[in-house]
A and B are shown apart, each in its own frame.
Chain A
Amino acid sequence: MKTRNYAVVGTRPIRHDGADKVTGRARFGADLQISGLLHGYVLRSPHAHARIRSIDIRKALAFPGVKAVVTAADLPRTPDRVVELADGPVRLSHLRGNILASDKVLYKGHAVAAVAAVSPHVAEEAASLIEVDYEILPCTLTAPDAMRDDAPILHDDITTMEFGEQTGKVCNVAEHFRHVLGDINQGFAEADVVIEREFETATVHQGYLEPQSAVALWNNDGRVHIWSSSQGAFSTRDAAAPILDLPVSRLKVTPMEVGGGFGGKIRIYVEPVAALLSKKAGRPVKIVMSRRDVLEGTGPTPGSYVRVKLGARKDGRLTAAQAYMAYEAGAYPGAQVAFGAMCIFAAYDIPNVMIDGFDVVVNKPSTAAYRAPGTTQAAFAAESVVDELAEALGFDPIEFRLKNAAREGTRRADGPKYRRIGCIEVLEAMKTHPHYTAPLGGPNRGRGVAVGFWFNVGFPSSCTISVNADGTVNLVEGSVDLSGTRTSIAMQAAEVLGIGAGDVNPTVADTDSIGYTALTGGSRTTYATGWAAYEAAQDVLRQMKGRAAVLWGIDPASVEFEGGVFRADGRSTTFKELAARLDMAEGPVIGRGAVNPSSVGGSFAGCIVDVEVDPETGKVSILRFTSVQDAGKAIHPSFVEGQMQGGSAQGIGWALNEEYYMSPEGAMLNTSLLDYRMPTCVDLPMIDTVIVEVPDPDHPFGVRGVGEANIVPPPAAIANGIHRAAGIRLRRLPMNPPVVVEAIWNRRA
């Protein structure tokens, strides 16, 4: 355990970009104005599935004020290959196909053409003059439907990969994989109680408040500059370069402030389109998505069909677990079902497990990551059955989970054996929280619990630190800041250097100005880029010791550093004093840190929720909510709490209201934020938080990423609470008033 007293780590300084963020000065993508800027508009498919017979752009090109029109014909037709991106491998043809459709449109909202003009209004008017001749095809909208033999086929070139082998069968199932641990037949035979249930979840959106935007300039020297509000400057470069058939060195991506991402801004959409328009027009082009574009044309998170079967003995020990998980990838493969399969039973030590996962393409937008991608759907199923099983065996739901909790040494069905984890500590914190035993205080109320896991990622990060003459430092990093990570990273450097958080001046740099740094996602930023900052600060200290040695004329190895002071042979100088004298000792000090952690510690989270179910209307109110999560070490506790509260709020929205309400023809019918109903201020109580700290064994401060696991438990916990309040088990998300009231009527009937 590396728990110790720190001077900076664990405090709550004001964030470095705070003044910019509260005065309106922070510059998000759409705020950028540069000279000669044109405005782009993307024309999107009105059909969920159709063949494009022809596209006639002549009238649009002739429209006054129009400077360029592009279609898929303007994309380089480089041969297909697999491209490794931040969120996994993807076929270049699929990556390109989602930017601008060529022969077929695969969802309503699929980009078909784009116009650049002197104003957004002119571009939009001109786009309406583009004539696209469609041959409408039948569509398929859910995983179970798309898996049927008679389902319309989206891609002629997708054949099912089964257990790692190509079957050669043209099918909407892109992949079927299986994880096996032990022998489930034997496990279920040993069980005294076996419960098997089916679950469905609707497509939901990350719901970030800032629509995607990009500005691109295809310069006269052949270099392309992209300004983007995506979740990574380098990940945007990695994706845009193959689409535009450019070496990465010809692309410069400048990250703008990001108005929320939650995984949805890892994939890119309008960046390459703006670049192509700029190339044709010879001027910079800005594209800002509308809210409808965001809902119809970016990646939501998969809808799912999950079947879970659990068996346990009378003594409360789980003997076997089985899951069948079919996720909707949307238009192109990549439904994150593999992530869901890693996490579905991750909180439990179960000897016999079998998990089947299916990645299924359907005529909906190509799905993207959303906070612990693929895992909330899985936990909704697993944690609902765990609750039912605990009840059937007469156990308290937390006690039942504790009896079966994963711990150090537990092997997960997908392979890894846990190192030190905080699953038990999270459950103990839930059990002892006053919320768990507080009176419910009224009729139609119920309390539910659930736990969840997210494995977190490492990936490369880079930092440099330059020492200023006044004893402060400038820290340059490659991680875009979604939520205050400038500060949580700076604090780790400050702790090493023995200076204040405010003495570190952080800058998020463009791709020409800092070493490679992977996306802001996977709960990795405070963990991995913080680690890079730690290494850069250590490098600064090594060099500073050398400079003290030069000034004192002694061996650098004899210089020690503690509490902000360098000492040797009875002499001492503070970091600040030495910083002022660097010109007399070999010149500037620049430290560097680069990491690529491979042994990332995952994070467990749990929640306790009190709900009230109105038996007349079916409305579910959240009366009280407590979120518990293992942070390893909370660098900035307020920001950790913020992640927990935000993830909980999104989980509540997912549970109770949010869904893509689809017509049979594949049109989303609720394309505004009035109808796509995210929680407002009046829908939520104050969300209480408990930070558990079971340090990661490798990270210098014990950090575990906290961005994601918190969204995993709420839908299951709420379903379990509704069961106790109203006597109904709901197995489809969202659990909105019509669904709840119908279940209550059915129970009475």
Chain B
Amino acid sequence: MTHTLTRVRTTVNEEAVEFLCEPRQSLLECLRDILGLTGTKEGCNDGNCGACTVIMDGRTVNSCLVLGVEAEGRKITTIEGIAQGSELHPLQRAFLENAAVQCGFCTPGFIVAAKALLDAEPNPTEEQIRLWLANNLCRCTGYGSIVRAVQQAAAQMREVSA
């Protein structure tokens, strides 16, 4: 069965991009299979694991629950857009320093979600961090090291901006 392809113009990691996709393809598929941005992961494809979390117009979304065509005119940030050039983002450094990465599969989703949190709330409590990240599943760490990494990154980022 051939499906009509739709042209989508959007912004991914501050770069204007244009691609053709089928109406049934999710944003996750478009990012991974069309744009080659495979850092965003598929863990469940039904919005329950958070491995595909990206930021769309300032809000976190499960990219498996967004259609590719819905990206038209939006601004999207993926894990590939988090580091500042060759410098890791403080969250990325903190994830490594706190051993908050084990298998690393959920890590992109957690880092993207945590970035959106710190953009909105530079000084979150542990409870705020846990509630915010409750959409993201990790099966390796038990979450403590991830929460600590976010706390450490938040403190460092507040220091820099102070």
Contact = CB atoms under 8 A, between A and B. Distances in A.
A258 B41 CA distance: 12
Interface of B: 1-2, 22, 24-25, 32, 36-46, 48-49, 51, 78-80, 82-83, 88, 92, 95-99, 101-108, 111, 129-131, 133-134, 136-147
A642 B99 contact: yes
Given A30-B38, A209-B51, A482-B102, 5 more contacts: A209-B137, A642-B140, A645-B142, A682-B131, A686-B147
B82 A645 contact: no
A673 B83 CA distance: 30
A450 B86 CA distance: 48
A372 B133 CA distance: 29
A221 B159 CA distance: 60
Contacts of A679: 142-143
Interface in A226-281: 257-262
A681 B127 CA distance: 9
A681 B103 contact: no
A291 B134 CA distance: 19
Given A24-B79, A681-B134, A672 B44 contact: yes
Given A22-B107, A209-B49, A673-B48, A646 B141 contact: yes
Given A24-B79, A680-B134, A686-B144, A484 B102 contact: yes
Given A23-B39, A209-B106, A210-B43, A674 B138 contact: no
A24 B103 contact: no
A262 to B, nearest CB: 7
A28 B41 contact: yes
B86 to A, nearest CB: 10
Contact of B144 (A288, A674, A684): A684
A24 B39 contact: yes
A687 B32 CA distance: 35
A210 B103 contact: yes
A207 B49 CA distance: 11
Given A23-B79, A646-B142, A674-B48, A12 B99 contact: yes
Contacts of A672: 44, 46, 48
Contacts of A135: none
Nearest to A688: B144
A125 B1 contact: yes
Given A259-B41, A259-B104, A684 B143 contact: yes
Contacts of B98: 638
A711 to B, nearest CB: 11
B108 A24 contact: yes
B142 A687 contact: yes
A248 B140 CA distance: 32
B3 to A, nearest CB: 8
A26 interface: yes
A22 B95 contact: yes
A207 B99 contact: no
Contacts of B136: 681
Nearest to A676: B48
Nearest to A206: B139
A291 B104 contact: no
B96 A22 contact: yes
A208 interface: yes
A24 B95 CA distance: 13
A189 interface: no
A195 interface: no
Contacts of A125: 1
A63 B1 CA distance: 8
Interface string A674-696: 10001111101011000000000
A262 B102 CA distance: 12
Contacts of A30: 38, 41-42
A484 B99 contact: yes
Nearest to B130: A681
B144 A687 contact: yes
7 contacts: A20-B104, A24-B40, A260-B139, A641-B99, A646-B139, A684-B142, A687-B142
Given A121-B24, A260-B139, A288-B42, A24 B144 contact: no
Given A673-B48, A681-B134, A209 B43 contact: yes
A43 B100 CA distance: 37
A258 B80 contact: no
A15 B101 CA distance: 9
B89 to A, nearest CB: 8
A409 to B, nearest CB: 35
A122 interface: yes
A681 B147 contact: yes
B1 A64 contact: yes
A31 interface: yes
Given A209-B139, A678-B137, A22 B144 contact: no
Report the 3 A-B pairs with minimum CB-CB distance, sorted nearest first: A24-B39, A259-B105, A21-B104
A290 interface: yes
